[in-house]
Structures are given as C-alpha cells and as structure tokens.
Amino acid sequence: MSKLRNGAIALVAATAVTALAACSGGGGAAEPSTNPDGSTNLNMWTFADVHAAYYEAMAEKWNEANPDQEIKLEVTVYPYDDMHNKLQLALNSGEGLPDVVDIEVNKFANFVKGSTPPLMDLTEAAAPYRDDVVQARLDLYSKDDHVYGFPTHVGAFVAFYNTELLEGAGIDYTTIKTWDDFREAGSKYHEATDKAFGVASTGVNFIEPLITAQLGGEYFDADGNVQVNSPEVVEAVSMVQEMQDAGAVSTIPGGSPDDEQAYGAINDGDYAAIVYPAWYTSRYVDYMPDLDGKIAIAPAPAQDDAVVRTIGGGGTGTAIPVASPNQDLASEWLAFAKLSPEANVAVWEELGFDPVNMSVWEDEEVTKNPENKFNKYFQTNLFDVLNEVKDDIGHLPSFSDPNWPAVDNTFTTVTLNDLYENRVPAQDALDKAQSSLQNELGQ
C-alpha cells in the first residue's frame, strides 16, 4: 500500500507542479523582431490567399526601395470568420498579436470600440498620400478623426449592364440615370422578356444603404442609437419594393449576386443589370466567362438631388495592433503597401479592384492598358466611370458604427427576407428590425 500511496502522491504532486508551472509562466515580453542582417520580422494575418500574395509582392517592392529598412513579412492566411475571432481573443488578452492584420469592413468597428482602441493611430502614416486617396474610404476606417485602418479598394457602387440582353429588349442602358429610369427600364425589360432585370438581395445589405446615403439618411442617429426605421431608410427600402412590384428587381438564387448560384444565373442571362461595388468586376471575369464582351459598366443610378452619387461597399481595413513592437516600421510599410501609387496599380492589375489612390485613375497607361484582362472583358472602362463620379463618392458613416455588424446581421438574416420574400410592408419590417436591434443592443 505504501507504493500505492507514493504513486498517488506523485501523481497529485506532478499535477500540482504542472498546474503551478502553468500559472507562474514567464512575462509576455515582446520577442526580438530584428534579425542579425538588420531586417525586421513582421507577422501579418489575413483571411484571403490573394491578399497574402499581394502583400508579399508589396514587401518585395518595399525592400527594393528601402534596403536600409528591410522587412521579412510572414503572412498567415486564416479562415475568414475565425481569424476575426482569434484577433478578438488576442486583443482581449494582449498576447500573441500580429504586427499587421486585415480586418473585414463589417467587423472593423468591433475593434475600434471604446476611447482607447487597441489599434494604432495611422493618421500620420497616411499623411504623405492623403491628397490622392479617396477620403471616404479613410473615413470608413476612422474614428474621431483618427485613421485606424487603410483601405484596399474604393468599392464604389456602379451598374453592370448586359448590353446584349438589353438591346434585345430595345433598352439603351446609357439612358438609365436615376432609380426611376432603372425601374422603368427594368419593368419594360421584364415585360418584354419575362426575365429578371436587377436584383433584390436578401443575403447582402448593399443597395439599401446606397440609396439611404443618396437620400442623406443614416442607420444610426447622432448619439449612436439605432434608427433603422428612419424616414430615409424606409424610403430607400420602399423604392426597392416598388421596383420589385414593377418587375425591375427580383430575388436571386443564393441571396445575393456574390454567390456561386447567382454567378450561374447571371452567366446564363437570367439577370440583366447588377448594381454592385466595383470589385464585382473580378466576379465577372472569374465566374462568368460566357458574358465576356457583353457587359458595360456605368455609374450606379442616383436621383438628381442625391446627396452623394455613390458610396463604397465592402472592403478590408488593414490595421496595426498597438501592442506590436514594430509598429513604426509596420505603419510606414503598410502606408506604402496600401496607399502608394505603385501599390494601387497592383491593386488594379492583380486584384482587379478599384484602387483608392486616385492618381492611378488618371494614368492611362494603367487604366487603358489593352492587355489588362478586365479592360478586355468589359465594353466600357471602369476608370471612365470612376472619374465621372470622382467628386461625388460619399461615405455612409453608419458603416463605421460599432453596432453596424448587428444591423447588417439582422438585415441579412431577417429583414431583407421579410421585405423581398415575404413582402412585408417596409415600415412594418423596419419597425420590427428596429425593435429587435434595440433589444439586442440594449438601447
């Protein structure tokens, strides 16, 4: 029995020692990040392979231009949703943080809550490029006039028209300027072909915020209280419902144009007009090969008295946690990698996004390059459209509200379905959303 007792005591002791060792742990001192060759290690997290390849290319360019400030970038691609959860945990604990991190726009506001956000103020780093960069996109990742993230693209809403189908129905897309024009054209097309014209999305909340911004509305009041049943939002949603009644917009398989099922439907010619952010160009090129040469890009519809013609939709803000021991160098590199003209050329040529640095928009060697796959695919040039609305690209501050993710979630899971699938009147559906959000947010 003594052996037995000793064994039991040893087991307990071992457990206790392990537990104690675990509790006492070393301090969380920042690991040295400078290598013997003078280069600095920068860890980066992202959620898309294409981003990783882009940043690695930008690191190379940086090292060529700044041999005295070389960086060794290590990019880790995590699963999309879970990367944000991991980041939240790391920021909460202050441990295991990267030097640079991509944050999806809908999640960004979560990370700049409170008076001392855990992300570095990048205002100074942005300064050299500020005049050329679309202000609305910096505003998206700003709080109290401090920039906390750099944008990847403008994502300006534009309209993509399938000219072959429209011509078949006797519609000239260049005559569509306002939402009324859009509704009339859609109605005419629907009557002529019995097919859908535009899209009423139930899985993405895009057109409604666009129209709301054009009407000068917001989803939150000045005090940050949710007001999704404000007159402008009700009007915006009613406009889409009226378009649906007129046959100008219809729901789409997959819930939004940015879904594999929807790509198939659009590619098959089931939908003729898509109003979506400019980055949708890459979806056409990658997923809708049959429409090559048939799609024209035009400015998104807007009423004559619109407060702004268009806004940006979607996006990724890249940020630097304040806990990063390399934040000064990281911020310089990040400004170069996301805001500089050379970086923005790559954003267009490699990723197919509308770049935030407007100096690129004027560079015809880049924008009119006949070899560019996007220029080859589309009938009209994206940059001609962007230059047309250049001074009128607005920002919907609601997108930057810390509670926007909750609003977006309610709309894409309940409200938009109520509106376009169940045909609940706009005011009723939005009142219900308002009440549900007030409960959820404790307002």
Partner 1 sequence: MVAQQPVTQDGPPQQAGPAEGDRRPRRAVSGDGPRFSHTAGAWIQTGFLVVIAVIALVPLVAIFVGTFQDGNDVIRRGMSFDVDLGGLSLVNYAMLFTDSGPYFRWFGNSLVLTVVQVVLTLLVSSFVAYGFAMYDFRGKSLWFVMVLLVMTVPFEMLMLPLYVQVNDMGLADTYTVIVLPFLAQAVTIFFFRQYFLGIPKDLLEAGRVDGVTEYGIFFRIVLPISKPAMAAMAILNGMICWNNFLWPLLVLRSPEKFTLPIGLNTLLTPYGNNYELLIIGAFFSLIPILVLFLAFQRYFIEGMTAGAVKG
Binding site for partner 1 (CB under 8 A): 3-5, 7-8, 11, 21-23, 25-28, 43, 47-50, 76-80, 82, 86, 89-90, 92-93, 95-96, 104, 260-261, 263-264, 282-283, 286-287, 314
Find the shortest distance in angstroms from Cβ 244 to partner 1: 24
Helices (H), 246-362: 260-267, 281-287, 327-339, 341-346, 359-362
Quick one: 202 or 230, whose CB is closer to partner 1?
A: 202
Q: Report the C-alpha gap between 257 and 152 in whole angstroms.
A: 21
What is the nearest approach in angstroms of partner 1 to the Cβ of residue 94? 8
CB of 129 or CB of 263, closer to partner 1: 263
Strands (DSSP E) found in 87-236: 100-104, 142-143, 146-147, 157-162, 198-199
The backbone region for 114, taken as left when phi is positive above 0, alpha when psi lies in -120 to 50, beta otherwise, is left
Cβ distance to partner 1 smaller for residue 82 or 421: 82
Q: Closest separation between CB of residue 46 and partner 1, Å?
A: 9
Q: How far is the CB of 49 from partner 1 (least distance, A)?
A: 7
Q: How far is residue 439's CA from residue 443's CA, in Å, rounded to a whole number?
A: 7
Tell me how far, at minimum, the Cβ of 18 lies from partner 1, in Å: 9
Contact (Cβ atoms closer than 8 angstroms) between residue 60 and residue 320: no
| Shortest distance in whole angstroms from residue 106 CB to partner 1 | 10
Best CA proximity match to 160, nearest among 313, 360, 385: 385
Nearer to partner 1, 94 or 128 (CB): 94
With respect to partner 1, which residue has the nearer C-beta, 95 or 181?
95
The enclosing H or E element of 299 equals strand 295-299
Question: Nearer to partner 1 by C-beta: 262 or 366?
Answer: 262
Strand partners, 76: 45
Residues in Cβ contact with 422 at an 8 Å cutoff, skipping those fewer than 6 apart: none
